[in-house]
Amino acid sequence: MITHPCFHPSLSKPSLSFLSSSSPPFLQHLSFLPTSPSITKPVFVHSVKPLHVKCSSTNPTSQSHPDHAPPISTLKIAIIGFGNYGQFLAKTLVSQGHIVLSHSRSDYSHVAKKLGVSFFLNPHDLCEQHPEVILLCTSIISTEQVLKTLPLQRLKRSTLFVDVLSVKEFARNLLLDALPLDFDIICSHPMFGPQSAKQSWKDLFFVYEKVRIGNESSRVQRCEQFLGIFQSEGCKMVEMSCQEHDKLAAGSQFMTHTVGRVLDMLGLESTPINTKGYETLLDLVENTCRDSFDLYYGLFLYNKSALEMVERLDLAFDALRNELFGRLHHVVRKQFFENGEKVKSVHDSSYQNGAASAFSSNALRSQDVTIPYEFKGKILESVDDSSKLKVAIVGFGNFGQFLAKTLARQGHSVLAYSRTDYRDAAQKLGVSFFSDANDLCEEHPEVILLCTSILSTEKVLKSLPFQRLKRSTLFVDVLSVKEFPRNLFLQHLPPEFDILCTHPMFGPESGKNGWNELPFVFDKVRVGNDERRVARCNSFLDIFAREGCRMVEMTCAEHDWHAAGSQFITHTMGRVLEKLQLESTPINTKGYETLLKLVENTAGDSFELYYGLFMYNVNAMEQLERMDFAFESLKKQLFGRLHGVLRKELFGDSEKLEVLQEKSVGKNGAALSSSPESVKIS
């Protein structure tokens, strides 16, 4: 665990711009990437149409085949690649009454039989059945090889080829280059799979481009019949060019998978105090980690816009990190040159005099200390007079007013103090407002509830006239970090005062419809043994229990451990994505919608709040470094495999490469360098 902030100079990273041009020199050399968008063969390609979205008019309560939907003529469809996705599509095709054939390198005959599909191990046997549609359900990486092995001469010359790859320009150029001119081509992308569409396909996107369709009415009709398969299931039919699809998909699908894989590398786990934002990140990890790295690598390698997104994400993360460290550097400069005080680390200055002992990471992961807290007050309809409290809210901004509304409704006497004049807002809520802290404290509130920002808490606390309060006053904070206020209270409050550190893990937005089942974390740091003081502490906690909060009692140290791995990670990822200025697209996936929602939720909070989560949580720096390491590792995986493709293209198979290396060692005493800089293409 990191016990003090580390000051890292901004390390320069190699730019990816040498890869981000539309036609990188060494990528042009690779046979699977077209060097020019033009096609050498004369083809009859439909002109690019403006984006057109057709939504099925099916009734939400209807079954997969609504009575009023137009009947679909039976097609003979051959699925090439009968893995999970091929089987997923076959199930619906069979249910609609189509004749389905299948071929795969693996023997799926037993699965095909259960689905009512004819399976062929030999592609010649399949093609001799003269299917009307060849549906390519292969992986991105294997598509070219599979396509070249098909005996096209055994098919009818007007056969319709359809792919369902997640990248479209690559598939389009490959099909135009490999298929005879007589064959029709549709490039499509059903933007769903067995997991996201396990209930139905209704309102899920199906993107397509009619790349090449013959003019004969039978071929035009066959094309519409195939598209009708998805429209009849309620899909949102989106017609767009392959180029436009890839541009949008790089900003949505590829970005979603990238974020999911970075978070997966962090080993995120559910905590006893999950926020809604963190739950969405966990769901994102679960959805993306099920896909193979080959799929993700295919999204990167075969979408020319993906590289730009990697570089933008890299720059956004660096910009956020520099913003944090720049603010931290300003604090250190202020300590050095303005105050003239002896410089102390943030950790040491905050954790003196009664600071909690350090916890090991293994001990902090223990869930045994998480104790559910229950109150009898949860079943009572009203608050009796004996449990009513006089609560002074110090810091009457948005969150202070948010809490005051519930306190006043429950019948508690609420006072408020803030540097800004919130007299009108207080009057509307039935709260007494004080512009002078002395006047507030002379009212002898039983509870001082600090609702200040993290950065201003210490200054505000030191400014309060403690001598004007009763000696047993209960101090409560609601900050998003807990060890910092705990030790601040222990350091500055007289020993007679009680201390309760809390974190309502919700706010005006997430708690606007009620607090039921929202987590409320607390630590009874110091509560006197006197029966009245114990009852007062419980009465305050009862405020939140009555509203249905999930009461979680845990130490401040453990809270900060969990919060650094959930709340800080959530805010960090949200702010990185905010810098990318992500926008909704006509083909948003559910995962991408999650990212957009995350940006919306985190962008509403001030940078000061985020900076406070970083500055005053001893675990935050470690999490930031882990995120940086995870992203760098993911880039190495991507570019490492790309480098392997380049080496294979340049040197041939591995045996030939070994011979070249051995000869080089024998002659020069050193192995042939395999770095891209050493490779010269004539």
612 vs 210, which has greater pLDDT?
210
616 pLDDT band (50/70/90 cuts)? confident
Place of tokens 């041939």: 652
461 pLDDT band (50/70/90 cuts)? very high
- Spatial separation of the C-alpha atoms in residues 102 and 118, rounded to whole Å: 6
> Rounded mean pLDDT of 673-682?
38
- Spatial separation of the C-alpha atoms in residues 212 and 301, rounded to whole Å: 25
The percent of residues above 90 in pLDDT, for the chain, comes to 47
pLDDT, residue 334, reads 58
Instruction: Output the DSSP codes for 242-276.
Output: HHHHHHHHIIIIIHHHHHHHHHHHTT----TT--H
Among 47-61, 178-192, 391-405, 544-558, name the one with the lowest average pLDDT.
Answer: 47-61
340 pLDDT band (50/70/90 cuts)? very low
pLDDT, residue 350, reads 37
pLDDT, residue 295, reads 77
- Spatial separation of the C-alpha atoms in residues 310 and 340, rounded to whole Å: 44
118-120 β-sheet, strand order: 52-55, 236-239, 205-212, 184-190, 160-163, 133-136, 76-80, 99-103, 118-120
> Rounded mean pLDDT of 49-54?
52
Q: Is the pLDDT of residue 366 over 70?
A: no
pLDDT, residue 570, reads 87
- Spatial separation of the C-alpha atoms in residues 236 and 436, rounded to whole Å: 61
Place of tokens 């070219």: 144
Determine the number of helices (DSSP H) and then strands (DSSP E) in the chain. Answer: 26, 18
**What token pair was written down for 169?**
């320009």
DSSP state of 157: T
> Rounded mean pLDDT of 238-246?
94
**What token pair was written down for 639?**
């570019």
pLDDT, residue 169, reads 93
252 pLDDT band (50/70/90 cuts)? confident
Instruction: Say if residues 91 and 82 touch (Cβ distance below 8 Å).
Output: no
Instruction: Say if residues 373 and 553 touch (Cβ distance below 8 Å).
Output: yes
pLDDT, residue 565, reads 78
- Mention every residue, 6+ apart, whose C-beta is less than 8 A from residue 192: 201, 204, 205
Instruction: Say if residues 237 and 208 touch (Cβ distance below 8 Å).
Output: yes
The percent of residues above 70 in pLDDT, for the chain, comes to 75
pTM of the model: 0.61
- Spatial separation of the C-alpha atoms in residues 112 and 109, rounded to whole Å: 5
**What token pair was written down for 575?**
């702010």
Q: What angle do CA 113, 198, 289 make, to 5 degrees?
A: 100
> Rounded mean pLDDT of 434-440?
97
Instruction: Say if residues 278 and 569 touch (Cβ distance below 8 Å).
Output: yes
Phi-psi region of 669 (alpha: psi -120 to 50; beta: other; left: phi over 0): left
Instruction: Output the DSSP codes for 24-35.
Output: -HHHHTSTTS-S
- Spatial separation of the C-alpha atoms in residues 568 and 454, rounded to whole Å: 14
φ, ψ for residue 421, nearest 5 deg: -80, 100
Highest-pLDDT range among 10-19, 138-147, 573-582: 138-147
pLDDT in tens, 399-421: 999 999 999 999 999 999 999 99
pLDDT, residue 580, reads 86
Instruction: Say if residues 606 and 571 touch (Cβ distance below 8 Å).
Output: no
pLDDT, residue 435, reads 95
The letter for the amino acid at 474 is: L
- Spatial separation of the C-alpha atoms in residues 357 and 507, rounded to whole Å: 30
Query: How distant, in Å, are the alpha carbons of 27, 651, 674 from that of 643?
Result: 10, 12, 9
Tell me which residue of 291, 266, 293, 299 sits closest to 281, measured CA to CA. 266
pLDDT, residue 31, reads 39
**Which residues share a beta bridge with 209?**
187
pLDDT in tens, 55-79: 443 333 333 344 434 445 899 999 9
- H or E element, residue 114: helix 109-115
Instruction: Say if residues 212 and 43 touch (Cβ distance below 8 Å).
Output: yes
pLDDT, residue 383, reads 47
